[in-house]
Chains A and B, each alone.
Chain A
């Protein structure tokens, strides 16, 4: 007898179905007998019973599944056979898992001789806890089901109850995303704090030399400025120089000039551009754009021209962001009331004057919000910069030179064989935290601007 959570879930689902039918029948029966009108329709009574039967049992199942292996192990460790186990460490764990595998039938025989005496106690303990779990679960299911079943009366407000439960489930679903974000922040925060115990935050934020070494942290090697500069140069300057004008002009064309047929084709194409995996952009940047730019730079006689240039990564990233900017600008321009456009045209303004002097100024807050969101996406973008921008931390304004970004360095710090507690590895988390905070602030600012602007026309 093993504890199979999936099968048990199916079992209580089956019980819930029976409960549903029973609840429905009972409400019908009671209503028919007493002649009273049911407050809720019969299926709500059915749902009420089914939910009471299913939810507590399923919850118990989830908890028990995660708790019982620990209980089993404890029981085994307390047994006589476990007295000869090595005290701590890797060997002890290996022996235990070997015994567990045999006891669960995943493995025909023990690989480690020391595990052999443990198989029997393991199987016994697992058997015991499986029975306890199943019994408790069934008891809970039946108790819940009976409780609900006995409450069914014609005037019982089953619908209200069921709706309340459904609402709680929906709330729980929406909490998952929020709690996950929270968990991510916490994990980043803990690792970052460990890093900041080794290296001062001031050094990371304001130091200008980035050359992290393995082992104990060397002084003045964790200066983040070259990375921040590289990120800003690629994501906020070069990419935006490409994306803002092209995205804006696209939006103006699509909203003001394009015939419906053209718009019908161009918009989906832009959306496809937004859906291209960033690694594909990365190839394009590294294999096509970067070499072409280098040749161009050599032709111009620019020194330090590298095949891994900020310009290549920035341009391709800008192209990637175009659909983003154009769709935000499209929305903002469309949100400007038609009356505004008519007012301008009725004064004898040309469509061009109307766009430049009325529509774009009126849409500007929304467009600004869109641009901030685009920047926050660009600086968090990883693949393109890893592939095309290079990894050397140069503090240079020469767009043809190789620079590196926060995201590219995070990848570099975490790939390969690394001890997980050296300053070098922990630096990745600190960088991630900085990036997270900056993009979070940008997003908040953008959303505030967009919201304020939306209100202006309502």
Chain B
């Protein structure tokens, strides 16, 4: 895939020949892809195509599934994340994740955002933590809505607010990459628009990878798009190229709504 190398000049993460198995079943088959540092990369494809599975292998969340096994090589800044020397806790601090369904902890808004910085010792004093929490909430575009009720439970917020809280929570540990697994699929259109706006603002500060069912969303928020089908990477390129001039027949069929 020499062509891909041309697309990404400065890859943040680089996957080479990655296979993921659940027990005997192969979910991902020989996927190689580069994720750019200052770019938003979208993974699209029909349900069950393996895009979420692949996303979860980028910060080793698949480790929590007993039967999952990953082969091949995934690098973060040239470092093999599946090497025995890699500390998975450190890795996940560097590669954060936002999930499909908002999953705030049943704690206060403040404690939700402060959770990561606390466990990683990023804020030695209460005053430091206040600063970190405020900054993360501001960057997630939630500060104005919650600044007067930081002690209320995070689960009492609306769905869209909860998802932005989860993004703030991920931002608070200052990761290098943020993985988003269909972050808007449980939200209404207005909340979705807010999240998309937020992704625009976060671009350049973090490398962002977003999995989405929604092709318009991929077109709106991303600069690079990867199309997955049946566990393989069919096509990867600039988002504009993928949507206006796909090279593969299968990509074209999917984008034009022939199947999916």
Distance to closest chain A CB from B178 (angstroms): 10
Report the bound CA distance from A346 to B64 in whole Å.
10
Residues in B with CB closer than 8 Å to A349 are 89, 115-116, 119
B89–A340 touching, CB < 8 Å: no
- Report B-chain residues with C-beta under 8 Å of the C-beta of A348: 89-94, 96, 116, 119-120, 173
Q: Is the interface of A mostly helix, strand, loop or mixed?
A: helix
* A343/B166 contact (C-beta < 8 A), A260-B66, A349-B119 known: yes
How many residues on A have C-beta within 8 angstroms of the other chain's C-beta atoms? 20
Closest residue of B by beta carbon distance from A365: B106
Instruction: Flag B160-172 by CB within 8 Å of A: 1 or 0 each.
Output: 0000001001100
Docked-complex contact A456 and B166, CB < 8 angstroms: no
Interface segment among B97-105, B140-148, B197-205: the answer is B97-105
Task: Out of B61, B66, B120, B155, name the residue touching A346 (CB < 8 Å).
Answer: B61
A257 to B160, CA, bound (A): 34
CB neighbours (8 Å) of B101 from chain A are 339
Asked if residues B119 and A357 are in contact (CB atoms below 8 Å), the reply is: yes
- Contact present for B119 and A353 (CB under 8 Å): yes
Q: B115: which of A337, A339, A357, A456 is its contact (CB, 8 Å)? A: A357
Question: Which A residues touch B91, using CB under 8 A?
Answer: 348
**Interface residue? A361 (CB, 8 A):** yes
Question: Do A347 and B116 have beta carbons less than 8 Å apart?
Answer: yes
What mask results when residues 348 to 369 of chain A are scored 1 for a CB within 8 Å of chain B, else 0? Answer: 1110010001100110000000
B64, B106, B107, B115: the one within 8 Å of A347 (CB): B115
Residue of B whose beta carbon sits closest to that of A350: B89
> What 1/0 flags go to B46-62 for Cβ under 8 Å of A?
00000000000001010
A392 near B: Cβ within 8 Å? no
Q: Is A345 an interface residue (CB 8 A)?
A: yes
A155 at the B interface (CB under 8 A): no
User: Do the beta carbons of B105 and A346 come within 8 Å of each other?
Assistant: no
A-B pair number, CB within 8 angstroms? 70
Contacts A353-B119, A357-B115, A357-B119: A344 and B105 contacting too (C-beta < 8 A)?
yes
Bound state CA distance, A341 and B103, in angstroms? 9
Name B107's contact: one of A339, A345, A346, A361 (CB within 8 Å): A361
Q: Once the chains bind, are B169 and A347 in contact (CB under 8 Å)?
A: yes
Decide: B103 and A347 in contact? CB cutoff 8 A: no
Interfacial residues of chain A within 400-458, with CB under 8 A of chain B in the complex: 456
Q: Is A271 interfacial (CB 8 A cutoff)?
A: no
The minimal Cβ–Cβ distance linking A172 to chain B, given in whole angstroms, is 43
In the complex, A342 has a CB within 8 A of chain B: yes
**Assembly CA distance A260 to B170 (angstroms):** 31
- Cβ-defined partner of B105 (8 Å) among A343, A350, A456: A343
Chain B residues near A344: list those with CB within 8 A. 105, 115
Of the listed residues B64, B93, B103, the one surrounded by the most CB atoms of chain A closer than 10 A to its CB is B103
Set of chain B residues within 8 Å of A343, measured between Cβ atoms = 99, 103-105, 166, 169
- CA separation between A346 and B105, bound complex, in Å? 13
Query: How long is the Cα–Cα vector from A337 to B107 in the complex, in angstroms?
Result: 15
Docked CA distance A246–B172 (Å): 36
Tell whether, in the assembled complex, residue A362 and residue B106 are in contact, meaning their CB atoms are under 8 Å apart: yes
CB of B177, distance to nearest CB on chain A (Å): 12
Contact of B61 among A345, A357, A358, A362 (CB under 8 A): A345
B120 contact set on A, CB distance < 8 A: 348
Interchain nearest-CB distance for A335 vs B (Å): 12
A27–B89 CA distance with the chains assembled, in angstroms = 74
Chain A, range 312-355, C-beta contacts under 8 Å to B: 337, 339-350, 353
Q: Which residues of B contact A358 (CB under 8 A)?
A: 105, 115
Cβ–Cβ < 8 Å partners of B89 in chain A: 348-350
A362 contact set on B, CB distance < 8 A: 105-106
Note all chain B residues with C-beta closer than 8 A to A345.
61, 64, 92
Residue interface mask B71-101, A partner, CB < 8 A = 1: 0000000000000000001111110110101
Q: Which residues of B contact A340 (CB under 8 A)?
A: 103, 105-106
Contacting pair A342 B61 (CB below 8 A)? yes
**Nearest Cβ on chain B to A10's Cβ, whole angstroms:** 58
Instruction: Assess the B96–A347 pair: CB atoms within 8 A.
Output: yes
Could you tell me the distance between the alpha carbons of A341 and B61 in the complex, rounded to whole angstroms? 11
Residue of B with least CB distance to A347: B116
Partner of B59, one of A337, A339, A346: A346
Residue-wise, chain A 250-294 has the 8 Å CB interface mask toward B (1 for contact) of: 000000000010000000000000000000000000000000000
Chain B 176-224 residues near chain A, CB threshold 8 A:
none
Chain B contacts for A357, CB-based, 8 A? 115, 119
Give A362 to B107 CA distance when docked, in angstroms. Answer: 9
A350 to B107 CA separation, bound complex (whole angstroms): 18
A342 touches B66 (CB 8 A): no
**Complex-state Cα separation, A340 to B155, whole angstroms:** 12
When chains A and B are docked, how far (Å) is the Cα of A348 from the Cα of B119?
A: 8
- Given A347-B92, A347-B96, A348-B93, also A341-B119 (CB < 8 A): no
Closest to A340 in B: B103
> A347, B99: Cβ atoms under 8 Å?
no
Q: Which of A340, A341, A343 has the most CB of B within 10 A?
A: A343
* Cross-chain contact B92 with A342 (CB below 8 angstroms): no
Residues of chain B lying within 8 A (CB to CB) of residue A347 = 92-93, 96, 115-116, 119, 169-170, 173
Q: Is the CB of B116 within 8 A of A341?
A: no
A359: min CB distance to chain B, Å: 10
List, in ascending order, chain A residues with CB within 8 A of B90's CB: 348
B66 neighbours in A (Cβ, 8 Å): 260
Residues on B with beta carbons closer than 8 Å to the beta carbon of A339: 99, 101, 103
Beyond A345-B61, A346-B61, A348-B119, whether A456 also contacts B99 by CB under 8 A is: no
A/B interface sample: 11 pairs, CB < 8 A: A339-B103, A342-B64, A343-B105, A344-B115, A345-B61, A345-B92, A346-B92, A347-B170, A348-B96, A348-B119, A361-B106
Given contacts A346-B92, A349-B119, A361-B105, 20 further A-B contacts (CB under 8 A): A339-B103, A342-B97, A342-B103, A343-B103, A343-B105, A344-B115, A345-B61, A345-B64, A346-B61, A347-B92, A347-B115, A348-B94, A348-B96, A348-B120, A348-B173, A349-B115, A349-B116, A353-B119, A358-B115, A456-B106
The 7 A-B residue pairs with the shortest CB-CB distance in the complex, in nearest-first order: A348-B93, A346-B97, A339-B103, A348-B92, A347-B116, A343-B103, A348-B89
